[in-house]
Amino acid sequence: MSEADDKQAQEEQRGAAQAPAEPEAPAEETPAEDAPAEEAPAEAPAPAAKAAPADDADADAAEESTPKQRRKLERSRHTGEARPQRSIEERKAERAEERRVKALARRRWRQRSREKRRAARATVEPTAPVEREVGRPRERQGVVVSDKADKTITVRIDSARAHRVYQKVVRESSTLHAHDEGNEANAGDTVRVVESRPLSASKRWRLLEVLERAR
């Protein structure tokens, strides 16, 4: 043997002595396939969770879009075979048939609604008419301030009331025109007038009696 061969053999022996011993394999190893089955379906709901928002977004978009856009969206989702090409007359006939079917459905729905209303009215017992009492006309007492017009007097109605906050007596007056058929009242008389039907453009009252004559 040459010296080069001797050196190579010595280096191999030193490398073998310095190399760490290989660890022994454990007697029993748990295979990866024997992992508990409960961990596998943990990630299964992820696709469904991701698909839910997309479906909600599509539903919202369909509700907010116009009928033309909804039809376009439905056509884009169609995965079956395309319908054969139709002529204009065939499309018109198809639309007419759809309108006829919808009109029949509306007519049936209206008929059922009428029958339900009639049945509901038949079950309700009729009530006796309520007798209305004739309203009592209002009466006012005041002083005649003018009797110049024929068969018409101007009456001043004085009123006094307490202020709702300050409780001070507040005096107010208003005038009205009353019909005096016999020109009985004169200026300064205290009279009582009663409400009546409209007798002219401004007269809604009628002289009832003269309570006190002017001095």
- Alpha-carbon distance 128 to 112, whole Å? 30
- Whether 2 maps to a domain, the answer reads no
- Alpha-carbon distance 146 to 178, whole Å? 11
| Residue 146: per-residue pLDDT | 95
- Structural domain including 180 reads 139-212
- Top pLDDT among 56 and 116 is at 116
Q: What are phi and psi of 29, to 5 degrees?
A: -110, 140
- Whether 202 maps to a domain, the answer reads yes
- Whether 157 maps to a domain, the answer reads yes
Alpha helices, DSSP H only, in the chain?
A: 3-18, 46-64, 67-77, 88-123
- Top pLDDT among 196 and 21 is at 196
- Alpha-carbon distance 43 to 63, whole Å? 32
Structural contact between residues 193 and 139, judged by C-beta atoms closer than 8 angstroms: yes
Structural contact between residues 165 and 157, judged by C-beta atoms closer than 8 angstroms: no
Q: Mind listing the pLDDT tens digit for each residue in 66-124?
A: 889 988 888 888 787 777 888 999 999 999 999 999 999 999 999 999 999 999 888 87
- Whether 78 maps to a domain, the answer reads no
- Whether 151 maps to a domain, the answer reads yes
How many domains in the chain?
1
196 CB-contact burial (10 Å; exposed 0-12 / middle 13-18 / buried 19+): middle
Average pLDDT over residues 51-76: 72
Q: Is the predicted pLDDT of residue 184 greater than 90, yes or no?
A: yes
Which of these, 193, 184, 183, lies nearest to 156 by C-alpha position?
A: 193
- Whether 183 maps to a domain, the answer reads yes
- Whether 207 maps to a domain, the answer reads yes
Residue with tokens 């009123």: 159
Average pLDDT over residues 25-47: 47
Average pLDDT over residues 140-147: 96
Structural contact between residues 169 and 160, judged by C-beta atoms closer than 8 angstroms: yes
- Whether 94 maps to a domain, the answer reads no
| Residue 121: per-residue pLDDT | 85
208 CB-contact burial (10 Å; exposed 0-12 / middle 13-18 / buried 19+): middle
Average pLDDT over residues 25-44: 47
- Bridge partners (DSSP) listed for residue 212: 190
Q: How far is CA 62 from CA 40, 51, 55, 71, 194, in A?
A: 37, 16, 10, 9, 69
Q: What is the CATH number of the domain that holds 185?
A: 2.40.50.140
